Chain A
């Protein structure tokens, strides 16, 4: 069971990643519709602690992250994000311990289901986050730990 304090610190972490990624409402306004370079360049969680404000993201059972428990090779790790929350605008995939946490952003329309899969690179074992951003500015997340192991001869 998560304690309330754990939950808060997790929310803080996600908020930091999101803020660093420019996806919290306060920052998102400043972004144009084009490629969000700042989001993908964001390195550390601390980068945006200041920006953590109004709406802290919260863990939600209505968001799902899929992926293996163990990846034999960090170069290719299958992950997916989906949600049943209505009014979802975007789905994000983030790898906490990668040099830049944000990996992919999917803009969801009514014409597709809020359910996407891709494959990411992971430098080491890490929590991987799926975050759903809703039209009314909420950020909901699910996370999963994926262990990256060393396969083969290691030579």
Chain B
């Protein structure tokens, strides 16, 4: 199973900046191993974000997003104590969902 994400949500005024780090190989499918065999592509394809259970953003990624991806976005109207949930699904169907509280 995939390792947990690190989610930081920092409120400022009437919005919150969300910074997310995800643990993932993000293998492009274009590299070869030492034996010359192509390493199959393995990457996060979809990311969704929720604010207190309501979807606020969806992203689709290709394999050119960097390994151990970083994502930053700004949620309007998020207050201290609100919940921010991030979920991802990769091209092998592996999933991960984590939650953080706005600070």
Contact = CB atoms under 8 A, between A and B. Distances in A.
Interface of A: 35-36, 39-40, 75-78, 80, 95, 98-100, 102-113, 115-122
B6 to A, nearest CB: 14
Contacts of A121: 26, 28, 64-66
Interface of B is mostly: strand
Interface stretch (B32-40, B67-75, B94-102): B67-75
Contact of B65 (A80, A107, A120): A120
B57 interface: yes
Interface residues of B, number: 31
B66 A76 contact: yes
A88 to B, nearest CB: 12
B51 to A, nearest CB: 6
Interface of B: 15, 26, 28, 30, 45-46, 49, 51, 54-67, 69-77
B57 A98 contact: no
Contacts of B55: 109
Given A99-B30, A105-B61, 12 more contacts: A40-B60, A76-B66, A100-B64, A102-B62, A103-B61, A104-B65, A105-B60, A106-B73, A107-B59, A113-B76, A119-B65, A121-B64
B71 A116 contact: yes
Among A36, A115, A118, A122, chain B packs the most CB atoms within 10 A around the CB of A118
Given A111-B56, A113-B15, A95 B64 contact: yes
B65 A111 contact: no
A36 B58 CA distance: 13
Given A35-B60, A100-B64, A113-B15, A118 B75 contact: no
B62 A111 contact: no
B91 to A, nearest CB: 8
A77 B45 CA distance: 19
A121 B67 CA distance: 8
Contacts of B75: 111-112
Contacts of B63: 40, 100
A99 B51 CA distance: 35
A106 B57 contact: yes
